[in-house]
Structure 1
Amino acid sequence: MMKIKFIPLLFLSLSLALIGCSSDNNKDNEFGRLSIKLTDAPFPHDLVAEANVTIFKIEARSKGEGTDENNAPYLLLMEEEMEVNLLDLTNGITTTLVNTEVPAGSYDLFRVYVKGVNIVLTDGTVYDLKVPSGAESGIKVFVEPNIIVDGGLTADLLLDFDVSKSFVAKGNRKDAGGITGFNFKPVIKASNLSTAGTLTGMITTDNGGEIIPLKGAQVSIFPEGTEFLEDDSITSAFSDETGMYTILGLEAGTYDVVVALIVESETEIIEYKTVTALGITVVAANKTTLDFELEVLE
């Protein structure tokens, strides 16, 4: 059986779509509709079978003109338990967390409350993790610039839950038997989808004239013109079994994209030539398609 070797990096996305009332398009409407969706980028499954989080409440802070941040009111968006295995959601697949009307206005901070966090390894070992503050005060996610909800209009917010930084393995991370536990240190960042776009495409290889998809290729996004160091990567994704990858919530702009893949089996290691695409433009509220064909490194 072939084993794919990954650089461990994972991003979970909470997609918040603020949709105006369908009855009319009047900008003077006092309410819009808020739909919060959950998705996840591809994840290396060779050691981890499940990454479970129970989200039981979500709040948003209303930032009115001249409002004191310390006294700004919070709006309750959802208050019910929803357990999610983050590994079930890949490449744009989403599950809805919230779909409710909210007052038109400006929102600068979201609080996500979580509990019941655990990791299940492929050998069946379960690690229950302590939540440092998410169950009491919520995981705070600031939005800059503020997300604006106008009556009758649509606004979108994407929360990227960096699982690779949030679930930190202890012990030998390359071997399930060497892992002694995990620390949970939640890291979430926000992207305004009205100013962000999507990058998607296929990763394939030419196998004697037959084009076949490649699973597990890592697609890393870097600011244009920077050195390709792992710590400088803005975000990453992995291609699935169809060769497809999708990266949501990229701020509109120009990026450099690097694709790498090493496939390891019991008898051989197949390394593909790293491919780089420079100056790729991502347009706000649009999808950019970028395909790659990898060659085996002799």
Structure 2
Amino acid sequence: MKFRLVTIALFFVFIVFTSCTDNDDKNSDYGRLSVNLTDAPFPHDLVAEANVTIFKIEARYKGDMDINSEVGDNSDSSMETEEKSSFMVLMEDEMEVNLLDLTNGVTKNLVDLEVPVGTYDLIRVYVKGVNVVLTDGSTFDLKVPSGEQSGIKIFIKPGLVVNGGLSADLLLDFDVSKSFVAKGGGSNFENITGFNFKPVIKACNMSTAGTLSGMVTTLQEEVAVGLEGAQVAVFAADTLNTTTFTDADGKYMVMGLMAGEYDVEVELSTYLKETVTGIDIVASNKTSQDFILVAGE
């Protein structure tokens, strides 16, 4: 009888302890922030690498907490005040990235740490060592207009909310095709005299965005064969939102699409264009849409 009473008592203690732990997590003053980098593909056959070295990332904090509290487990993390806005350092290590490796759902994790709960509305990315390598081995070092001194400013709209005991994911989409502008023009090596670096980066709150993925194939003797290099263009209300290109297996993936309906066009030389309208993208979910292209005359 005593054993039974002790067992019941221990059970109630466990329930109370678990309940308190859950409440503490939900009411925690810190949540986890993850920042990943991806690339809006660069459709230039002459470019083998587009390299940047990221050496610091900051976030602007707009919450109500005391921003002088420590960030995560990194005692070296510091905060500063600039133009009445509070910034905190999220990362301060050199990280070299070839942006052309980050396509079709491939991402590079830049930040993963505990931060104060609240809203973050601006990211500053500091870069250096920017260069472009052509497929013939030619290398062009690019000047960084402001990224090394004041950082590349990326606004988050709406602001990213970090809740206590929970995780928030932010995706930085580095548009290489707009950020690396070839000088000299033309499609031959001898016509390229260099590149201008004009960074274009979009921030996307992954809790309010979804992903579109699928296959682009054609039928050969009634067998589906993946098509490499097909352009997948995503439109929102007749406005081009983003593009990507299929890989060697015919697969594609577009991340960071805000919830809503989109029209998608797929094109590849010698094939007829295929269009699908009203594709529904759901927040925090992946939508699958395949395309079968028919060879043209």
TM class by smaller structure: 0.7 to 0.9
Q: Between Structure 1 and Structure 2, which shows a larger proportion of strand residues?
A: 1
2:200 to 187, 200, 224: 187
Q: Is the 8 A contact 2:169 2:207 kept in 1?
A: yes
Instruction: Flag structure 1 segments of 5+ consecutive residues without an equivalent.
Output: 1-22, 227-231, 263-270
1:91 to 89, 97, 104: 104
Instruction: Flag structure 2 segments of 5+ consecutive residues without an equivalent.
Output: 1-20, 68-80
Deviations 1:175-229 (A, max 9, x none): 12211110000011222211110000000000122211000000001113x2xxx
Q: Hey, what does 1:140 align to over in structure 2?
A: 153
Q: TM-score, normalised on structure 2?
A: 0.84
Q: Hey, what does 1:276 align to over in structure 2?
A: 275
1:1-298 to 2 correspondences below 5 Å: 24=22, 26-44=25-43, 46-64=45-63, 70-224=83-237, 226=238, 232-262=239-269, 271-298=270-297
Matches of 2:222 and 2:105, distance apart in 1: 30
Q: Which one-letter code corresponds to 1:112 in the other structure?
A: V
Q: Is the 8 A contact 2:57 2:125 kept in 1?
A: yes
Q: Hey, what does 1:13 align to over in structure 2?
A: none
Deviations 1:77-123 (A, max 9, x none): 00011001111222112222222111111111110000000000001
C-alpha displacement of 1:167? 0.2
C-alpha displacement of 1:24? 4.9
Please state whether the residue corresponding to 1:87 is helix, strand or coil: helix
Farther off after superposition, 115-124 or 151-160: 151-160
Q: Hey, what does 2:4 align to over in structure 1?
A: none
Farther off after superposition, 111-120 or 89-98: 89-98
Farther off after superposition, 126-135 or 38-47: 38-47
Deviations 1:26-54 (A, max 9, x none): 22111112222223344446200110000
Identity of aligned residues (%): 62
Q: TM-score, normalised on structure 1?
A: 0.83
Matches of 2:263 and 2:184, distance apart in 1: 34
Q: Between Structure 1 and Structure 2, which shows a larger proportion of helix residues?
A: 2
Q: Which one-letter code corresponds to 1:93 in the other structure?
A: V
Aligned residues: 262
Q: Is the 8 A contact 1:60 1:75 kept in 2?
A: yes
Q: Is the 8 A contact 2:55 2:92 kept in 1?
A: yes
